[in-house]
Copies of this chain bind each other. A is one copy, B any other.
Amino acid sequence: MPDLTLFTYDWVPPPPRGYVRDLRVRWALEEAGLPYRVASTPFDDRGPAHLAHQPFGQAPWLTDGDLSIFETGAILLHLGGLSAKLMPSDRRGRSDVTEWVFGALNSVEMASLPWTMLKFMGEPGSKFFDNFIELRLKRMENVLADREWLTGSFSVADILMADVLRIVERFDGLAGSPACRAYVARATARPAFAKARDDQMAHFAAADATRSV
C-alpha cells in the first residue's frame, strides 16, 4: 500500500502559479485516484534539509514510505508503477510510456525551456532557440496528427508532454501547431488537470495571508 506525500514550496510569487512542477505530480495522483498528503518546504530558505531530498534546491519531491524521490520524471514513472491508469503494466506498454516520458522532457522540453525562460524573464529572444523549439514542434505535429494520446491510452507521458506544450502555449508558441494545441486542450479538459491546478493555486494563495501578517 503506497504512503504518498508530495512536497512543494510553501509559497511562490504569483507569476509561476499554475505552472509550478508539483502540478505534474498532483495531476498524476488525481488521475490515478491515489490518496496523498501535501507538505510544504520553505521557498525562501532552501537549506540542508531541503537539499537532502532535492539536491538542486527545487521542488517537488515525493516520499512513498521510506523512499524519497526527486525529479518529476522519476516521480511519474514511480506512480506509473502504482496504477495502470498512469502506465500499462505489460513490457511493451511500460517501454512505450517510458520512451515518451523522456521524449517529453528531453526532446521537447529541452528545446522549450530555453525559449520559455527567455520569454518569462523578459530577456531578448534568440533566433537560435526559436529555431530549436520550432523544429521540435514540427515533429510533434506529425506525431499528434493521427493519435489521441502518445501511446495506446492516456498515461504519465501525456501529463508531461501536455504540460510542456501548455507552457509553450502560455507564450503564444503554438499558433502554427494546431495538432499540438488541440492535444493540450484535450489533456487539460480532463477533470484531474483542473483539480491539480486549482489545488496548486489554493495552496499558494493560502500562504499569501500568512506572509502578509
Contact = CB atoms under 8 A, between A and B. Distances in A.
A107 B58 contact: yes
A95 interface: yes
A101 interface: yes
A41 to B, nearest CB: 16
A56 B105 contact: no
A195 interface: no
Given A67-B92, A78-B95, A92-B67, A56 B110 contact: no
A49 to B, nearest CB: 14
| Interface SS of chain A | helix
Contacts of A118: 128
A9 interface: no
A103 interface: yes
Instruction: Count copies of this chain in the complex.
Output: 2
Contact of A110 (B101, B110, B128): B110
Given A56-B136, A58-B107, A98 B77 contact: yes
**4 shortest interchain CB distances as A-B pairs:** A71-B102, A74-B99, A73-B102, A114-B114
A155 B112 CA distance: 29
A128 B57 CA distance: 19
Contact of A114 (B101, B109, B129): B129
